[in-house]
């Protein structure tokens, strides 16, 4: 009786094996899908401020409007880092004109050996537009922690040198995290992809982020943003707000470093009389809906503009979605509306 029960159990297990194999295969295939690499919930990328190997200071917060591709490594790395930078060079080439809106950054995890000139030579050997960053050991530690990156020295077994002594410092390699960090145009960390990912897969994610306006994580997407400036140092911003969430939201304010002040306005027509009404209460964006800010209606009013920029940074503040940052192209006076 007991034997028949055991035999039946084993037969059942054998019948389950093909199904289990299919489940495991599907699970394995899912790792090629972008959502498996996504950072959820979307969050602002950790702060990063460091010396450029070529001179000057790099601040991640100043890269708004660009997609930033970040990796960590060191110049004495014999395999992973050259592979990573070669992948990034191929990606940069395949992106074509779109590459101008992508910032590729390589952060050294070996400041003792990676001098600024050495790091610049190394990174620029792959692409002169790539940025090498160097921090001293004290400043590097909190950056690695914030980005959840591991970097540990590995020294060789000294027994190897008993027969053949060497002079100078003990040689070492660095065990470090091999990954691509993708930061979107609004400064949010969107994906953490392994260095083994294909260039084609990486390109797909970068192009998706390049096509976005604003930050979709907030539940509000910004489309067709453009600014029209006048010689009188005033102007207007027009755009479309798309609320992808299931709850009503409200645009409550806006600001730009290019203008002394930004106000929410609406033009109201009373016959031939056109009235400009400030809207300090903001613009409601209904759930699963969109609101157009267009000429002759709702718009953002810019005051005391500085210079004649080709584009201007803009920060939008929403009641629920929070902050959305974007770069708005500027139309010259008299230009046709897009």
Establish whether 29 is an annotated binding residue.
Answer: no
| Average pLDDT of the segment spanning 56-63 | 90
| Average pLDDT of the segment spanning 102-106 | 95
Radius of gyration of the chain measured on its C-alpha atoms: 27
| Average pLDDT of the segment spanning 228-246 | 90
By the 8 A CB rule, do 278 and 253 touch?
Answer: no
- Note the pLDDT of residue 138: 92
User: Among residues 65, 74, 47, 75, which one has the least CA distance to residue 143?
Assistant: 47
Backbone angles phi, psi at 290, to 5 degrees: -140, 155
Helix (H, G, I), strand (E, B) or coil at 234: coil
Establish whether 299 is an annotated binding residue.
Answer: no
The model's pLDDT over 139-166, given as tens digits with 9 standing for 90+, comes to 999 999 999 998 888 877 655 555 555 4
Fold type of domain 37-211: Glutaredoxin (3.40.30)
End-to-end C-alpha distance for the chain, whole angstroms = 82
- Note the pLDDT of residue 290: 92
State the Cα–Cα distance between residues 236 and 314, nearest whole angstrom. Answer: 12
Please report which residue ranges of the chain form alpha helices under DSSP H.
2-29, 80-95, 116-126, 137-146, 199-211
By the 8 A CB rule, do 245 and 287 touch?
Answer: yes
The model's pLDDT over 73-93, given as tens digits with 9 standing for 90+, comes to 999 888 889 899 999 999 999
Establish whether 81 is an annotated binding residue.
Answer: yes
The model's pLDDT over 162-204, given as tens digits with 9 standing for 90+, comes to 555 545 566 788 888 889 999 999 888 999 999 889 999 999 9
Model confidence at 215, pLDDT cuts 50, 70, 90, reads very low
State the Cα–Cα distance between residues 226 and 223, nearest whole angstrom. Answer: 9
Of residues 64 and 158, more confidently modeled: 64
Model confidence at 22, pLDDT cuts 50, 70, 90, reads very low
What's the CATH architecture for 216-331?
Sandwich (2.60)
Model confidence at 211, pLDDT cuts 50, 70, 90, reads confident
- Note the pLDDT of residue 162: 56
Instruction: Pick left, alpha or beta for residue 255 (phi over 0 → left; psi -120 to 50 → alpha; otherwise beta).
Output: beta
- Note the pLDDT of residue 303: 95
- Note the pLDDT of residue 3: 52
State the Cα–Cα distance between residues 276 and 299, nearest whole angstrom. Answer: 10
By the 8 A CB rule, do 200 and 91 touch?
Answer: no
| Average pLDDT of the segment spanning 214-223 | 65
Q: Give the C-alpha distances (Å, rounded to integers) separating 215 from 42, 185, 258, 324.
A: 9, 8, 21, 6
Query: What are the boundaries of each domain within the chain?
Result: 37-211, 216-331
The model's pLDDT over 34-52, given as tens digits with 9 standing for 90+, comes to 445 777 666 788 989 999 9
């Amino acid at each position: 009786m007991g034997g028949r029960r055991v035999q039946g159990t084993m037969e059942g297990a054998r019948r389950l094996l093909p199904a289990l194999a299919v489940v495991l295969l599907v699970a394995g295939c899912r790792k090629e899908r972008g959502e498996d690499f996504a950072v959820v919930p979307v969050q602002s990328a950790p702060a990063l401020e460091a010396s450029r190997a070529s001179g000057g200071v790099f601040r991640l917060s100043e890269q708004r409007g660009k997609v930033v591709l970040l990796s960590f490594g060191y110049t004495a790395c014999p395999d992973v880092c050259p592979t990573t930078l070669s992948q990034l060079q191929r990606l940069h080439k395949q992106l074509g004109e779109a590459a101008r809106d992508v910032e590729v950054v390589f952060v050294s995890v070996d400041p003792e050996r990676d001098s600024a000139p050495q790091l610049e030579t190394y990174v620029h050997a792959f692409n002169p537009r790539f940025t090498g960053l160097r921090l001293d050991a004290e400043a590097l530690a909190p950056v690695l922690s914030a980005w959840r990156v591991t970097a540990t020295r590995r020294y060789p077994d000294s027994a190897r040198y008993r027969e053949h002594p060497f002079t100078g410092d003990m040689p070492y390699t660095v065990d470090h995290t091999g990954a691509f960090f993708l930061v979107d145009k609004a400064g949010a960390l969107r994906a953490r992809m392994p260095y083994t990912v294909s260039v084609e897969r990486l390109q797909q994610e970068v192009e998706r982020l390049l096509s976005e306006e604003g930050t979709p994580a907030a539940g509000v997407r910004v489309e067709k943003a453009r600014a029209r400036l006048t010689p009188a140092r005033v102007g207007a911003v027009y755009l479309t707000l798309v609320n992808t969430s299931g709850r009503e939201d409200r645009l409550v304010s806006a600001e730009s470093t290019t203008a002394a002040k930004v106000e929410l306005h609406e033009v109201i027509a009373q016959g031939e009389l056109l009235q400009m009404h400030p809207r300090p209460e903001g613009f409601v964006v209904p759930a699963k809906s969109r609101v157009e800010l267009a000429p002759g209606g709702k718009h953002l009013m810019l005051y005391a503009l500085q210079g004649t920029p080709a584009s201007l940074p803009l920060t939008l503040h929403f009641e629920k979605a929070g902050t959305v940052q974007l770069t708005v192209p500027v139309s010259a006076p008299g230009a046709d509306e897009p």
